[in-house]
Amino acid sequence: MDAFDLVVAGGGNAGLCAALTARQAGARVIVLESAPRFLRGGNSRHTRNFRCAHPAPTDVLADSYGEDEFLADLNRATEHEADPALSRLLISRSAGCPDWMRQFGVRFQSSLRGTLHLGRTNVFFLGGGKALMNSYYAAAERAGIRVEYDAEVIGLEAPDGRFQAAVVRKQGETNGRTEKVSGRALVVAAGGFESNIEWLREAWGSAADNFIIRGTPYNTGRILRLMLDAGAERIGDPRQCHAIAVDARAPRFDGGIVTRLDSLPFGIVVNRHAERFYDEGEDVWPKRYAIWGRLIAAQPDQIAFSIVDAKASGTFMPSVFPPKAAGSIRELAGLLDLPADRLDATVAAFNRAVRPGTFNHAALDDCRTEGLTPPKSHWAQRIDTPPFWGYPLRPGITFTYLGLKVDESARVMMTNGVPAANIYAAGEIMAGNILRKGYIAGIGMTIGTVFGRIAGEGAARHAGR
Ligand SMILES: Cc1cc2nc3c(=O)[nH]c(=O)nc-3n(C[C@H](O)[C@H](O)[C@H](O)COP(=O)(O)OP(=O)(O)OC[C@H]3O[C@@H](n4cnc5c(N)ncnc54)[C@H](O)[C@@H]3O)c2cc1C
């Protein structure tokens, strides 16, 4: 194959942002994407929005969202563990992203009403992440970027952090053939290792066997591993990830956004022993939905159940799978395979502890329990009105945080403290620089867009373009 200025490994948001940026600077670019064409776009194709600083209202963003406020939100969510310089860089460059994206045909829409209340802070993609990725791929084709699908990078020739060539295994029609693709620079944008159950097992033990992976099965962490083996410096903890509660009936991979359940704050959540284990009403759902994956992962057999009564219907987004519905708590226990006596006792104890209040699902209301462990701090209403609904829940892993340390030019840092000569990283594979723990909605796509562009700029410069 010809030599390229830039080889991009991974064709999601971060990879395409790097490729388009470098191409605009005149670089000859190839994107190697392990998925077939119709599954291209990785986890990015499941997304809906990204977080963006803006000093004044825009056509798609309400009010203003200053850089300091954005940084304060990020620091709160990550408990101040985000790299300060990279966070500042991320936030300051987020503001220019919507206009940059529009030139490639990306379109936005105002935020819909929904459970996550993001109209001021997040820009929504018209048609979702799938339309976003289709726009980028169409723009890449127009610009003359070469895209290889079914092309998994299985090896890297990069002595002393200097990229020379990628070893690629082709699937599909050219089943199993390997070839080398050489280039002057490499951008690794191949996601985390969330779909590699074996790697998850190293971090989580056998609990990982009960995890559901919300996104692409292609993010196996292979390139992350290759880079670490080649002497790149790691950042982050292998157990840290974004993980939410999903319907236990969701497919093992790629179920996307529709398997998320938002019923949790409006009822109780019990484990397989029919016992509550966390305050379901601790804070507003946008600030708490992303803790439930880890909470459920810590429960026996990594399963839990959201239980609500008829009063809760209409207060949360409809579920993709219908709830188990019953006329009594005992009957519901039977349908969910829970110990009936225990569930009855848990619901009765909860109901006794509920104090009178004015229910308001859209605010931190005064409906709470008293004398109950764990407490329910808001939206506590007696569970007494049939039909009673139950949803089985599993940890739904969105993406992992362990990744490659980078500098402010998105260059991969090597363990000897020196940046790699011509290797850049963007997106999930370096998200751990910002996200050691915690999450704020929309930051995944901001990280990919901003650092994808920075990586593309750097790689093109390196190639003399
Ligand atoms: C259901 C869901 C909803 C989400 N919603 C949002 C949202 O609304 N807003 C937000 O900010 N974030 C959201 N996220 C997180 C977001 O998807 C990621 O942060 C972001 O997409 C990461 O982009 P990326 O380009 O790094 O990775 P990806 O988009 O996953 O792209 C990585 C690509 O690399 C390819 N690849 C992997 N290994 C190899 C290899 N060895 N060789 C070649 N190619 C390889 C994969 O096929 C994939 O296409 C969501 C995630 C999921 C799963």
pLDDT digits (tens, 9 = 90+) for 313-332: 889 989 999 999 999 999 99
Atom 26, ligand 1: residue with shortest CA distance: 427
Check residue 116 and give its pLDDT: 58
What is the three-class DSSP state of 282? Answer: coil
Close Cβ partners of 164 (under 8 Å, ≥ 6 residues apart):
157, 158, 182
Atom of ligand 1 nearest to the CA of 14: 25
| Final residue in a domain of this structure, among 353, 368, 396 | 396
Please name which of 188, 176, 143, 253 lies closest in space to residue 12, comparing C-alpha atoms: 188
pLDDT of residue 217 exceeding 80: yes
> Hunting for tokens 């935020």 — which residue is that?
111
**Listed range (178-187, 281-290, 406-415) with the worst mean pLDDT:** 281-290
CB of 420 closer than 8 Å to CB of 413: yes
CA 151 to chain centre: 23
DSSP-derived letter for residue 290 is G
Helices (H), 78-209: 84-94, 97-102, 128-143, 197-204
Mutate to test the pocket of ligand 1, among 17, 30, 44 (most ligand atoms within 8 A of CB): 44
* CATH number of the structural domain spanning residue 14: 3.50.50.60
- The total domain count for the chain is 2
Full domain range(s) for residue 356 = 243-396
| Final residue belonging to a domain, choices 348, 380, 396 | 396
Asked whether residue 303 carries a pLDDT value surpassing 60, the answer given is: yes
Render pLDDT for 271-293 as a digit per residue (tens, 0 to 9): 999 999 999 999 988 788 889 99
DSSP 177-208: EEEEEEEEEEEE----STT-HHHHHHHHGGGG
- Cα of 275 from ligand 1 centre, angstroms: 35
Rounded average pLDDT over 47-56 = 96
Q: What is the pLDDT of residue 21?
A: 98
165 and 286 part of one domain: no
Ligand 1-lining residues (CB < 6 angstroms): 9-15, 32-35, 41-44, 46-50, 152-153, 189-191, 214-216, 218-220, 222-223, 256-257, 398-399, 427-428, 442-445, 448
Task: Identify any residues that bridge with 4 across adjacent strands, giving them in sequence order.
Answer: 183
Interval between CA 208 and ligand 1 midpoint (Å): 20
Same domain assignment for residues 289 and 361: yes
Residue 107, number of CB atoms within 10 A of its CB? 14
Q: Is the pLDDT of residue 1 over 90?
A: no
- pLDDT digits 0-9 by tens, 100-153: 999 999 999 976 665 556 888 999 999 999 999 999 999 999 999 999 999 999
Atom of ligand 1 minimally distant from the CA of 153? 42
Q: In angstroms, what CA-CA distances link 139 with 23, 190, 323?
A: 11, 20, 42
* Claim to verify: residue 125 and residue 208 sit in the same structural domain: yes
**Do both 390 and 308 map to the same domain?**
yes
